[in-house]
Amino acid sequence: MPEEHEGRVIAPLANKTLEEIDGQRWGTPCCASYIEATCASLRKKPIGQFTTENLRMMISQDIGTDVLKPFALAVLQDDPMAEGDYYPGDLLEAAAKRWPDDPELQTLT
């Protein structure tokens, strides 16, 4: 991940987890769906290790989006058609749905 993205310093956050940043501990959900279990697990993963699919899933579920936005934008600046597990551009679609008025995303769509 780049150290800066549009003036937002993201390098210090790359080694932190969402749990460390927001202070919320979700624990391991009992009888959770695949998405619930995966999202709970991703909250414990350093953000700098997130894959395109990890970003897509968390943004689609509206989890940690304020923190993850600069990371997603950095990926999309490199490759607007970055692909998670579904199809080329699935991260861009998730980001555009979450932040429809973002001028940076509008230049990519």
pLDDT band for 2, please (50, 70, 90 cuts).
Answer: very low
What lies within 8 Å, CB to CB, of 107 at 6+ separation is none
Q: What is the pLDDT of residue 70?
A: 94
- 6-65 pLDDT, tens per residue? 445 567 889 999 999 998 888 777 888 999 999 999 999 999 999 999 999 999 999 999
- Measured between alpha carbons, how far is 90 from 82 in angstroms, rounded to an integer? 7
What's the total number of domains in the chain? Answer: 1
Q: Which domain holds residue 77?
A: 4-106
Q: Which residues, listed in sequence order, are joined to residue 83 by a DSSP beta bridge?
A: 88
Q: What is the pLDDT of residue 68?
A: 97
Q: Which helix (H) or strand (E) holds 56?
A: helix 52-60
Q: What is the pLDDT of residue 57?
A: 98
Answer for the pair 91, 72: CB distance below 8 angstroms, yes or no.
yes
